[in-house]
Amino acid sequence: MSEPSASFHSIVPGDVPPLRPALVRGEDVHVWDVDGHRYLDGISGTFCVQLGYSRADLARAASEAADRLPFARPSVFESEPSEAYARELLEACGPPYTRVILTSSGSEAVDAALKAAYFAQRQPPIRTRVARLRGHFHGATVEALRVTDVRARRAPYEAMLGDSGPVLDPSDERELTDGLLDATALIAETIPAVGRGAEIPPPGSLARIRRACDAANALWIADEVLTGFHRTGPLFAWQRLVQRPEDDGAAPDLIVFGKGAGCGYAALGGVILSERVAKALGLSPSSPPFMHAQTYGGHAIACAVGRRVLAAMAEERIEERVRSLEGRLREALEPLTRHDLVREVRGLGFLWGIMLRAARGTDEPFPRSLRVAERVEARCREKGLLVFSGSGSYDGERGDHLLIGPPLIAESHHFPQIASGIRQVLDEVLRELSS
In this predicted model, what pLDDT tens digit does every residue of 247-286 receive, in sequence order? 999 999 999 999 999 999 999 999 999 999 998 888 655 5
Residue 290, pLDDT > 50, answer yes
pLDDT tens for 79-132 read 899 999 999 999 999 999 999 999 999 999 999 999 999 999 877 788 999 999
Q: Give the DSSP letter string of 66-95.
A: HHH-S---TTT---HHHHHHHHHHHHHH-T
Smallest CA-to-CA distance from 280 within 107, 127, 99, 109 is with 99
302-355 residue pLDDT tens = 999 999 999 999 999 999 999 999 999 999 999 999 999 999 999 999 999 999
- What stretch of H or E contains 205? helix 205-216
Q: Which band of pLDDT confidence, cut at 50, 70 and 90, is reported for residue 4?
A: very low
CA 293/CA 74 separation, integer angstroms? 6
When mean pLDDT is compared across 74-78, 89-93, 297-301, the lowest value belongs to 74-78
Residues 307/310/315/319 CA torsion (nearest 10 deg): 180
388-390, strands of its sheet edge to edge? 342-348, 351-356, 401-404, 388-390
Helix crossing, 300-315 with 56-68: angle to 10°? Answer: 150
Peptide bond between residue 96 and the one before it cis (omega within 30 degrees of 0): yes
User: Is the pLDDT confidence value at 396 over 50?
Assistant: yes
Strand partners, 326: none
pLDDT of residue 289: 72
Per-residue pLDDT, averaged over 390-417, amounts to 96
Average pLDDT, the chain: 93
**Residue 405 per-residue DSSP state:** -
> Global pTM?
0.93
Q: What is the pLDDT of residue 43?
A: 98
Does pLDDT of 5 surpass 80? no
